[in-house]
Structure 1
Amino acid sequence: MTDLTPTAFGYTDGDTDTNRTDAVSLNELADQRLSRRQTLRGGSAIVAATLGGSMLAACDSSAGVATDPAPTVNAGGAATTNAGRVVTLNGTATGATAVSWTQTGGPAVTLTGAGGNTASFLAPSVTAATVLTFQFAAATGTSTATATTTVTVNPAALGFTAVAKNKLDIVTVPAGYKVQVINRTGDPIAAGVAAYKNDGTDTNFAQRIGDHGDALYWYGLAATGTARDETSSTRGLLVQNHENINQQYLHPAGATNVGGVRPEAEALKEIENHGVSVTEAVEDANRAWSVVQNSSLNRRITPNTPTTFSGPARGSDLLKTPFSTAGTDGRGTINNCANGTTPWGSALTCEENWAGYFRRSGDNAERTAKEVTALGRYGVTSGTGNFGWSTVTPATGTNTTFRRWDARATAGGSATTDWRNEPNQFGWIVEIDPYAPTSTPKKRTALGRLGHEGCWPGAFVVGKKPAWYMGDDSRREYLYKFVSATAWAAADATATNRLATGDKYLDTGTLYVAKFNADGTGSWLPLVFGQNGITSTAAPYPFTDQADVLVNARLAADVVGATPMDRPEWTAVNPVTGEVYLTLTNNNAAGRPLNGTDAANPRHYNDPFGAAQTASFGNPNGHIIRLKETGNSTEALTFNWDIYLFGAGADLDAANINVSGLTADQDFSSPDGLYFSRATNAAGQVKPLLWIETDDGAYTDVTNCMLLAAQPGTVGDGGARTITNAGTGGATATQATRVGAAPTAATLKRFLVGPVECEITGIDTTPDGRTVFVGIQHPGEGGTPAAPTSHWPDSQTVATPGATVRPRSAVVVITKDDGGVVGL
């Protein structure tokens, strides 16, 4: 009995009350094979079939009926496996005309092929070694015989060979896995839209997949294709962010700029490539995945899509523009990076590096001192704005699609006559109902305005107020938590008006920011007007009201003394322990100088880059911090923390840089995306898998960006540590910190390496864990239209792609050849 490739099968979560099997029952088998007699003397057919030929012979002898010889059966030897893996039962039967497998003990599993010699099942999740027993029955004419075997299932464990670091132009996965590609930049997602030519001439990106696919999430669909089914693993909606663009590949010969003016068609194409996509994806009987181009649920949400504001800042003077003089509505979402979700089935998308898209300089004389302070704190200082969209002269004079990106205050103007407040319309958490393609996305102002990177929910406990954890992706920014004012009611998980449910939980509550103490404790500081110095006399920014606090949450966090972090990005919450993980992607010497470290951001060192060994001081490889809320409660105001992993090359100083002791199978740099497997399958139960994605510039002289799988321990499983940091000129300084237990070969290893110049970003699994979706962003970002530096995804299937084939961001679908849970 070994782990072999089965046919398609279902998944069970280990319920023990029902044995779901497609085997022929023993009653049916006896009825089929013993049809000469409707009953047997001395007992039922099931008893006779279970006891085998000896009872049949006894019955037949008394009746004077000839008997057939009992078949010789063997159920195979005992086997051992791990949760989430495929197990194949191999029985043999000599002289039998019918055979059947049934489970007789242990947590119930779904048997596939139970009516033949070979049956298979997916090992259930267990907390300790657990024995499952199976009976193999065979019949011939009037006789039946049985045999029994056992399978011992151990808790889930990483079950693949680590992928070696490499610089290939493909997605590399472990042996035994398959890669498929869907949702490439430009793929049509509406009926009648032409196939993508990928030569820069394509248009209508409002009905195509956008560029720079980022965070993604799977929302299951019922078999009807219209209703929500959170258990579906074969049909669903893939909601994906589109953060940015490879501008050079979107136009025939790259972007043009004549006399400082961008062409309208080029700018519109670039704008439409940003935002969010919703696409229906399906798996067929052969486990091949595709996107339904003409699905009625497909949707693009771009920077031009109408949105509405909700929560405390709705109607604030700070949100008023010529488009919405009441400050209640806006247009679109941009630079969508990480994400979040809700138990009622809505998607949360995060507006991250939105500030650079605006043209805004030279207008200080037309601004108040408060405005200048706020704009500077958020980095709205560009003289041109990303991609120069505001320079477009539209064919229609009343078209403000492009003018809105010019946020300069005009002499004698106001918030409702010029676009001075347009930057305030971005930097929010946006809630989308993926099942309602005509619904209007809502910007949830109670969660604050930041460079939002992630908005992951904590545990939902009936009667407790839920929380969402958020990073702010810039150097020396903060970790935030929003706690709803409304305690969780389980009935809301099945609400059909999802955005109204969001009103209930996301529009009223308290926004907190984290302070990390040197002793491994920490606290959540409320950002509430009138508290902790957040007042009308605060310097350098006097606040007006709570709406002002939320629009300028960074300034409020400065006032209360939050801990500046090394680029706080994605958050993830362990579905078993409730512990919160945060990627701190990196920092440089300016952001974290030798004398600027602290216990939560402890390293300053040099990691030379490239053949020239260019100096790179600071924390270029990043780390992952985690915290445990007091009482495991989302409502807690205090927590404990440690550093789970330190990014580093395996060859770096183990005492002070490679603090986690990473090996060549584990080393990484610049952790970015972070995700725990779903609790609906073995990979997300007992000791859940943590997936770590990288967005790296410090280690790309050695390897392309990567995805690692881990089974972390818990906060406090390590201890105190003091490291010696190194600065320029031989300067040193010591720093005390809190370090998690070092990983082992069994608890951390590299699962995937991406193509050239990509970022690995965005990940989710189907509920059964047998399919993983991973985003591959901006391959070949350093190339030109004439000389692309990557040809992915064409290079994934074509040995020698054409020299000018342009790269595209896309989603890879990863499945295990034997049908098991990915990673186990």
Structure 2
Amino acid sequence: MSHSFDPIDNQSNNEHFQEVLDKAFSNPSRRSILRGGLGLASMFALPMLPGCGGTSTASDAAVGAITELKFTTVAKSLADRIWVPAGYTVKILHATGDTLKTGVAAYSNAGTDDAESWANRVGDQHDGTEIFYIGSNGKSKGSYSYAAGDKAVLAVNNESSAEAHFFHPTGQTSGAAVGKKFDQFGQWTLGVRPAAEAIKEILMHGVTLVEVNLDASGKPTGYNATSALNRRITPETPMTVTGPAAELANLKAMMVTKFDPTGNTTRGTLNNCGTGITPWGTLITCEENWATYFTMPAGATVPTDTKLIASRTRYGVQTTATSATAATSRTQGWHTVTDADPTSRFARWNVSASGATAAADFRNEPQTFGYNVEIDPANVNSMPAKRTSMGRFAHEAAVCSIPVVGKPLAFYMGCDSRNEYIYKFVSTKTWDAADIGGGIAAGDKYLNEGKLYAAKFNDTGQGEWLELSINNALIKAAAFGFTSQAEVLVHTRIAADAAGATKMDRPEWGAVNHANGEVYFALTNNNASNRTPGKTDAANPRAYKDNDGIGRDGNPHGHIIRFKETNSMAEATTFAWDIFLFGAEEDAPAVNTNISGLTAANSFSSPDGLWFSKSTGICWIQTDDGAFTDETNCMLVAAVPGTVGDGGAFTVSNTMTVAGAPQTANQNTFVGKVLGESRLRRFLVGPKGAEVTGITETPDGKAIFVGIQHPAEEATAYNDVSKGVWPTNANNGVGGTYGLGGRARSATIIITKDDGGRIGL
């Protein structure tokens, strides 16, 4: 979802990526660090390597077959519909509120549905998406292996309740205030919330897993609404606390709440954004912007634990009681519901020190969120696991390195906020293909014991992984006062500050190129308070005024970086990096904005989701934009990637008005490569207000699944149809109307090629 107004919680003095580029540009011998950007010269020189799913398959072997895109580019659009190239068909797999169990009433789309029924409905805000194939042995083989007769399960993250005004008869209610729209980042109007509304909003979060119907050729045709494999994981689903064996006692002590005074279990997952898939065939769902769901109401007793308060400050959790005179509060107000439920399903969102100890209240509740959660799609009875060893922050995707038998696995992770970091977890255990289908037990083997790192990008074009360990002298000496590795894992952002990681511009999804193992990250955007010409650097060389009149300055269109581990080893502690692609409007000046030479056929802004097809090698780029929306809705762009280190020389000249005065700096040469329209094209444009996010494919590459999140996001009332009603409108790009009532709904779509071929070719 859009994060244009997210608070910035990283106030450390760590070097920003912009400062890295300053140093690089001041030394001509170092300008080659930017070499890269859409080069293709050596992409196909390497042999095919198996993807994160394990051993290579026939469909995997197709990677590298594409050298150019041949579909007709899709034009920009502001229409309330989906556009794809000629020769392609779009179909909705499921939409928010669709049923998952027998006996659940069809969705009304009028806000009249039973609140508790949301535990058996498709959740809202469709995001990260993964597909799993369940064999006759009842084990998931992930998306990398497929055999005729296997069942397919699609897992879709349900990020937030930001559009919850659509799910109540007359919008959201708080006391006497009716028909409001409460924003995730602090627009709740003070007053008591109705229980039914709070229950709906809680249960629409989490993850939706459904069995996908397949025809004889393996093509998805819909979903099985009564399958025993259908499952919802919500903020109320019990989960185990896992971590390094030597630290479990310390970890659990920080998870103690009234719900489980032992800290052995926690309750639920929240604000799930990106995803990952493990080599053994399980889902990793990532908890992103969870911090703003918790509050301390007026008159609350604030916890006195100085570490807890310092950590809340760094993560954006409320640290003081709400003012008695405040009109709004930074929460959804779920804590205001009169809580007669012994599970405290509403009181848990009040994180004040209301009890005598942490075991008598929920002061530690925020410390139970911010992790990667592992789910086994093949076993509906398995309990999800919070993987604390992978760190706690605003997780955005967790992409696995190419697994090599006998070698460790690496998972790459972004922390989705401006000025935050890129992380890596490296397993202690080495990969054994015999663990395919091993479920949560395999996750215990690979994800509990390992090393956690944060990335530092140097101005030489090289980078290093800084280990986040209690034995790191910088961490041990930090003012926070770390005393155990458990504290490093729970307060990861503070540890990364101390270690000296490089501040990045909203690191969102990462993706691994299956052809060569190189890692890509979307840096979605930055604003003028963080980016001026004097603050540009090698990884962020642009500071400019948006030329289209929206008035967003800094780097509003974002870019994509990539890096290659030394000797292509997952366990490497150094890497080489460059810039892959800059977002821009096609009519923006090339000297400081449209550096990648984008045209009307491929201009885009704010890259968010990233994903590589194993079938075709295409790098799919999904956008979550607020700077190009006067010309086009968000989109899906296809790119043919190159390799780290390809490209040629360019010059960027930064000019921007700062504090009322023109500022020009860093008119320097960098190295990149312009990609022609045959290798970068717009494939899809979404409906009004929607973010395009979450993508996966069938193993043959002949069908892709794409998430359409928060259509009609700009609507401020449940009955405001002027901002969009997709997919309930005619001519909506999916073959007619869907659902009832004219209210917009998030959805997951299936795209196929009319000639039965692979997508994008």
TM over 0.5: yes
Q: Which residue of structure 1 aligns with residue 613 of structure 2?
A: 677
Q: Which residue of structure 2 aligns with residue 40 of structure 1?
A: none
Task: Choose the corresponding residue for 1:177, options 88, 98, 101.
Answer: 88
| 1:563 and 2:502 matched | yes
Please give the secondary structure, in 1, of the residue aligned with 2:254: helix
Q: Which residue of structure 2 aligns with residue 820 of structure 1?
A: 757
Among all aligned residue pairs of Structure 1 and Structure 2, give the percentage whose two residues are the same amino acid: 49
Structure 1 segments unaligned to the other structure (5+ residues): 1-121, 129-153
Letter of the 2:336 counterpart: T
| 1:766 and 2:698 matched | yes
Q: Which residue of structure 2 aligns with residue 270 of structure 1?
A: 201
Please give the secondary structure, in 2, of the residue aligned with 1:761: strand
Contact preservation (8 Å) 2:110, 2:741: no
Letter of the 2:237 counterpart: T
Contact preservation (8 Å) 1:216, 1:238: yes
| 1:336 and 2:281 matched | no
Q: Which residue of structure 2 aligns with residue 70 of structure 1?
A: none
| 1:785 and 2:718 matched | yes
**Post-superposition offset of 1:371:** 2.0
Measure the CA separation in 2 of the matches of 1:478 and 1:127. 30
Q: Which residue of structure 2 aligns with residue 216 of structure 1?
A: 129
**Post-superposition offset of 1:571:** 0.4
**Post-superposition offset of 1:306:** 0.5
Please give the secondary structure, in 2, of the residue aligned with 1:187: coil
Q: Which residue of structure 2 aligns with residue 421 of structure 1?
A: 364
Structure 2 segments unaligned to the other structure (5+ residues): 1-57, 177-190, 323-328
Measure the CA separation in 2 of the matches of 1:721 and 1:442. 48
Q: Which residue of structure 1 aligns with residue 21 of structure 2?
A: none
Q: Which residue of structure 2 aligns with residue 492 of structure 1?
A: 435
Measure the CA separation in 2 of the matches of 1:594 and 1:288. 49
Q: Which residue of structure 2 aligns with residue 111 of structure 1?
A: none
**1:366/1:189 CA distance change after superposition, 3 Å:** closer
Q: Which residue of structure 1 aligns with residue 10 of structure 2?
A: none
Q: Computing the radius of gyration over CA atoms, which structure comes out larger, 1 or 2?
A: 1
**Post-superposition offset of 1:591:** 2.8
Contact preservation (8 Å) 1:360, 1:385: no
**Post-superposition offset of 1:125:** 6.4
Task: Choose the corresponding residue for 1:660, options 573, 596, 601.
Answer: 596
Superposed, 1:708-747 pairs within 5 Å as: 708-719=637-648, 721-728=650-657, 729-734=661-666, 739-747=671-679
Contact preservation (8 Å) 2:280, 2:437: yes
Please give the secondary structure, in 2, of the residue aligned with 1:486: strand
Measure the CA separation in 1 of the matches of 2:580 and 2:499. 27
Contact preservation (8 Å) 1:476, 1:567: yes
Letter of the 1:745 counterpart: E
| 1:454 and 2:397 matched | yes
**Post-superposition offset of 1:491:** 1.5
Please give the secondary structure, in 2, of the residue aligned with 1:157: coil
Contact preservation (8 Å) 1:605, 1:618: yes
Task: Choose the corresponding residue for 1:302, options 234, 256, 263.
Answer: 234
**Post-superposition offset of 1:284:** 2.9
**1:584/1:288 CA distance change after superposition, 3 Å:** closer
Measure the CA separation in 2 of the matches of 1:197 and 1:124. 42
Task: Choose the corresponding residue for 1:523, options 464, 484, 488.
Answer: 464
Deviations 1:51-99 (A, max 9, x none): xxxxxxxxxxxxxxxxxxxxxxxxxxxxxxxxxxxxxxxxxxxxxxxxx
Measure the CA separation in 2 of the matches of 1:501 and 1:285. 32
**1:485/1:598 CA distance change after superposition, 3 Å:** same
Q: Which residue of structure 1 aligns with residue 386 of structure 2?
A: 443
What TM-score, normalized to structure 1? Answer: 0.77
What TM-score, normalized to structure 2? Answer: 0.83
Task: Choose the corresponding residue for 2:620, options 681, 684, 691.
Answer: 691
**Post-superposition offset of 1:727:** 2.6
| 1:629 and 2:587 matched | no
Q: Which residue of structure 2 aligns with residue 592 of structure 1?
A: 531
**Pairwise CA RMSD:** 2.3
**Post-superposition offset of 1:815:** 0.3
**1:777/1:370 CA distance change after superposition, 3 Å:** same
**Post-superposition offset of 1:800:** 8.5
Q: Which residue of structure 2 aligns with residue 324 of structure 1?
A: 260
Q: Which residue of structure 2 aligns with residue 388 of structure 1?
A: 333
Contact preservation (8 Å) 2:455, 2:501: yes
Q: Which residue of structure 1 aligns with residue 156 of structure 2?
A: 240
Q: Which residue of structure 2 aligns with residue 55 of structure 1?
A: none
Q: Which residue of structure 2 aligns with residue 15 of structure 1?
A: none
Contact preservation (8 Å) 1:125, 1:156: no
Deviations 1:147-178 (A, max 9, x none): xxxxxxx7553220110111111110000000
Please give the secondary structure, in 1, of the residue aligned with 2:174: coil
Please give the secondary structure, in 1, of the residue aligned with 2:201: helix
Q: Which residue of structure 2 aligns with residue 23 of structure 1?
A: none
Superposed, 1:190-201 pairs within 5 Å as: 190-201=101-112
Measure the CA separation in 2 of the matches of 1:256 and 1:441. 33
**Post-superposition offset of 1:231:** 0.8
Contact preservation (8 Å) 1:715, 1:740: no
Q: Which residue of structure 2 aligns with residue 254 of structure 1?
A: 171
> What count of residue pairs does the alignment treat as equivalent?
662
Please give the secondary structure, in 1, of the residue aligned with 2:312: helix
Measure the CA separation in 1 of the matches of 2:285 and 2:374. 7
Contact preservation (8 Å) 2:633, 2:688: yes
Measure the CA separation in 2 of the matches of 1:421 and 1:326. 12
Letter of the 1:524 counterpart: W
Structure 1, 279-288 or 691-700: larger mean CA deviation: 279-288
Contact preservation (8 Å) 2:469, 2:485: yes
Contact preservation (8 Å) 1:602, 1:735: no
Measure the CA separation in 1 of the matches of 2:293 and 2:492. 20
Letter of the 2:531 counterpart: R
Contact preservation (8 Å) 1:163, 1:753: yes
Deviations 1:297-349 (A, max 9, x none): 10000000001110035442221111121222100000000011111110000
Q: Which residue of structure 1 aligns with residue 210 of structure 2?
A: 279
Letter of the 1:457 counterpart: C
Measure the CA separation in 1 of the matches of 2:557 and 2:344. 42
Letter of the 2:171 counterpart: G
Superposed, 1:605-616 pairs within 5 Å as: 605-608=544-547, 613-616=549-552
Measure the CA separation in 2 of the matches of 1:251 and 1:726. 48
**Post-superposition offset of 1:632:** 0.7
**Post-superposition offset of 1:598:** 2.2
Deviations 1:14-68 (A, max 9, x none): xxxxxxxxxxxxxxxxxxxxxxxxxxxxxxxxxxxxxxxxxxxxxxxxxxxxxxx
Q: Which residue of structure 1 aligns with residue 15 of structure 2?
A: none
Letter of the 1:707 counterpart: L
**1:238/1:368 CA distance change after superposition, 3 Å:** same
Task: Choose the corresponding residue for 1:289, options 216, 221, 229.
Answer: 221
**1:473/1:195 CA distance change after superposition, 3 Å:** same
**1:533/1:252 CA distance change after superposition, 3 Å:** same
Q: Which residue of structure 1 aligns with residue 478 of structure 2?
A: 538
Measure the CA separation in 1 of the matches of 2:691 and 2:430. 38
**1:472/1:388 CA distance change after superposition, 3 Å:** same
Q: Which residue of structure 2 aligns with residue 14 of structure 1?
A: none
Letter of the 2:75 counterpart: A
Superposed, 1:153-192 pairs within 5 Å as: 157-192=68-103
**Post-superposition offset of 1:779:** 0.4
Q: Which residue of structure 1 aligns with residue 40 of structure 2?
A: none
Contact preservation (8 Å) 1:163, 1:752: yes
| 1:510 and 2:451 matched | yes
**Post-superposition offset of 1:123:** 12
Contact preservation (8 Å) 1:597, 1:735: no
Deviations 1:112-143 (A, max 9, x none): xxxxxxxxxx9996799xxxxxxxxxxxxxxx
**1:190/1:226 CA distance change after superposition, 3 Å:** farther
**Post-superposition offset of 1:736:** 5.4
Superposed, 1:748-759 pairs within 5 Å as: 748-759=680-691
Contact preservation (8 Å) 1:774, 1:811: yes
Measure the CA separation in 2 of the matches of 1:190 and 1:228. 25
Measure the CA separation in 1 of the matches of 2:465 and 2:621. 26
**1:608/1:721 CA distance change after superposition, 3 Å:** closer
Please give the secondary structure, in 1, of the residue aligned with 2:567: helix
**1:584/1:334 CA distance change after superposition, 3 Å:** same
**Post-superposition offset of 1:544:** 1.8
Measure the CA separation in 1 of the matches of 2:308 and 2:349. 17
